[in-house]
Amino acid sequence: MIQLGEFHNLIIIRESDHGIYLENEEGDEVLLPNKYVPETWMVYDKIEVFVYLDHEERPVATTLKPKIKLDQFGKLTCVEVNKFGAFLDWGLEKHLFVPFKEQVIPMEPGNEYLVFCYLDLETGRLAASSKVHAFLDNSELTVKPFDEVDLLVSNQTDLGYNVIVNQLHLGLIYQDEVFKPLRIGDSVTGYIKKIREDNKIDITLQRPGYRSIEPNAQKILDRLKAAGGFMDISDKSAPDEIKNRLQMSKKSFKKAAGNLYKQRLIEIKEDGIHLKDQ
């Protein structure tokens, strides 16, 4: 059987009134409807398609690219709610179904939701769930400290923001590590700051330790040049002021400014930092 919810490179084997039939190496067939058939093709050509169920619950192929696929998280817009559940726009002709039992809060048309696409083993259909944490697993981690990782913002807590790490694990960005606005479903790059004994993952949006100095130093240089060579900010400035103006912690600012000073790129004076004439 051709796996639903995945992309496949399939072989064109024959034409019909409804489209062309494609086959995998095991001999399983699926129809690519006429509306998606390329202008030029030949039997035995290979074509990449996505396979899901059509409105009559039959496996069908499409050349459209869905916004998420099987076992993947993503932010989708609700387009309809009926007595069975909600339906999300995921870029395909048939919308993605979310049962009421898989909704954290009742979904409403027009709103966006972070969801996980899964295969319902009882019905054999692709569906989605906004109970995303149920599909994350930290029992066996695939990351280590200092790794660069892809993050999806899941939800805000009193401590900061829960994030989905590399589509696999649950992590946390503490509030004092957040230097720019974050919204649910945002995709950002982060770094593994610490892995705790219980496999909870602490995330930072800046490279940990010495690794954060270089990009922050460049940011300070860029701001200085844009400001005409002077900024009225220094290591005596309040942490909140540094955070709001430069989107970095005071500790990171002091390291970056010290690095620039050692390279004789800036002067540090009582009124702030000055770009040195080169």
Query: Going edge to edge, which strands form the sheet with 266-269?
Result: 230-231, 272-275, 266-269
89: phi then psi, degrees, rounded to nearest 5:
-80, 115
128 and 80 together in one domain = yes
Give this prediction's pTM: 0.77
The pLDDT of residue 214 is 67
Confidence of residue 210 (pLDDT cuts 50, 70, 90): very low
Tell me, yes or no, whether 98 lies in a domain.
yes
163 and 200 together in one domain = yes
173-192 burial string, b = 16+ CB within 10 Å, else e? beeebbbeebeebbebebbb
Render pLDDT for 93-141 as a digit per residue (tens, 0 to 9): 999 999 999 999 999 999 999 999 999 999 999 999 999 999 999 999 9
Q: How far apart are CA 5 and CA 180, in angstroms?
A: 34
Domain that holds residue 239: 210-275
Tell me, yes or no, whether 112 lies in a domain.
yes
DSSP assignment of 127-178 equals EEES-GGGG---SS----TT-EEEEEEEEE-SSEEEEEETTTEEEEEEGGG-
177 and 219 together in one domain = no
Report whether 66 contacts 4 (CB < 8 A): no
Domain harbouring 177, CATH code: 2.40.50.140
Report whether 273 contacts 267 (CB < 8 A): yes
Tell me, yes or no, whether 140 lies in a domain.
no
Structure tokens at 140: 């066996």
Structure tokens at 31: 């129809």
Residue 274's SS3 state is strand
Domain boundary among 101, 133, 165: 133
The pLDDT of residue 9 is 97
* Alpha-carbon torsion angle 268, 271, 272, 278, nearest 10: -60
14 and 54 together in one domain = yes
Q: How far apart are CA 141 and CA 256, in angstroms?
A: 32
Render pLDDT for 82-106 as a digit per residue (tens, 0 to 9): 999 999 999 999 999 999 999 999 9
Count of structural domains within the chain: 4
Domain boundary among 109, 133, 157: 133
